Amino acid sequence: MEQIVLYSEIFKSIQGEGHYTGVPTTWLRFFGCNLECNGFGQDDPTDPSTYKLPYQDFDLIEVKNVEDLPVWKYGCDSSYSWSKKFAKIQKNETEEEVAKKLFDQMYDENTHIAFTGGEPLMKAAQKKTVKILDEMENLCRGKFGKRFKYITWETNGTRPIETVLHNYLSSMGHEVEYFFSVSPKMFNTSGEKDAVCPEIVKQYHDISDVGQLKFVCNGTDDSWNEIEESIIKFRDMGVNYPIWIMPVGATEEAQDDNAKEITIQTMERGYNVSARVHCYIFGNQIGT
């Protein structure tokens, strides 16, 4: 029986961050998240009393589509994909319809498929992902004669893998690459506490040793210290994903404020630097 998928957008773009930067990718952004990350972009991410949250005051009366929303400088840049305020402008379609739309964005079986959010590893999203991928496999075999090869989850790393998804991925063997792009949310940049979960990310690592740990940094000593302490926790748990550091900033302008300094610090610490390349190419626009 087909289930309804609540999602914000389906679009084709490049991967803009980390290891696969520049690779053509078809995206599904699920609606729903267990975190809010209102501290992003704030003068003091650790003090909620000082937050500016323009999404909360935004007037939706003239907005009918997610793509018509602005990208806000303060708070989570994808608040439209989890805040109940925006639920009424989300898309509701069956798993089959979603799979067909994703498939139509693919140029061949090598096109990367990425699930993002919100949080794409919420329990309900995992179950629906399996159904969507099942349908996409049928479509790929029908047109290309092969199944897809690359799947990415853009996750905050706090949600365990459910049995239904674990069994599905196990059944695929090594024919498909599962890439877990984990962005742990730091207190000193996102305002989220207790959101670093090495024991959960170890579950991802046990399924696939291909992935990345991607940290947002604002360049302060507190931010760097928190990142370094978190990396130790992941390494102690046996998570060996490469480390990427990304300057804080939801918009191109915000990244320009501190990108050079953080890049130099990142190189000195021996980590990889990730910009948000899609912002520089397409601007501050949803759906790119």
Q: What are the C-alpha distances in Å from 121 to residues 34, 98, 284?
A: 10, 17, 26
Q: Is residue 269 part of a domain?
A: yes
For residues 247 and 262, the answer to whether their CB atoms sit within 8 Å is yes
User: Whole-angstrom Cα distance, residue 120 to residue 250?
Assistant: 20
User: Whole-angstrom Cα distance, residue 65 to residue 72?
Assistant: 16
Q: Is residue 250 part of a domain?
A: yes
User: Whole-angstrom Cα distance, residue 2 to residue 176?
Assistant: 25
Residue 234 lies in domain: 4-282
Q: Is residue 210 part of a domain?
A: yes
- Token representation of residue 15: 């991967």
User: Whole-angstrom Cα distance, residue 134 to residue 92?
Assistant: 19
How many distinct structural domains can be found in the chain? Answer: 1
- Token representation of residue 74: 């303060």
- Token representation of residue 172: 């695929």
How is residue 154 annotated by DSSP? E
Q: Is residue 287 part of a domain?
A: no
Cα end-to-end distance, the chain, whole Å: 32
| Predicted local confidence at residue 253, as pLDDT | 54
Q: Please name the residues in contact with 140: beta carbons below 8 A apart, sequence gap of 6 or more.
A: 103, 106, 109, 146, 147, 148
Q: Is residue 59 part of a domain?
A: yes
Q: Is residue 288 part of a domain?
A: no
| Predicted local confidence at residue 288, as pLDDT | 61
| Predicted local confidence at residue 282, as pLDDT | 57
| Predicted local confidence at residue 4, as pLDDT | 94
For position 251, which CATH number holds? 3.20.20.70
Q: What is the mean pLDDT, run by run of 10 residues, along the chain of 288 residues?
A: 90 92 96 97 96 95 90 92 96 97 96 97 97 97 96 98 96 90 98 98 97 96 98 98 87 64 95 78 62
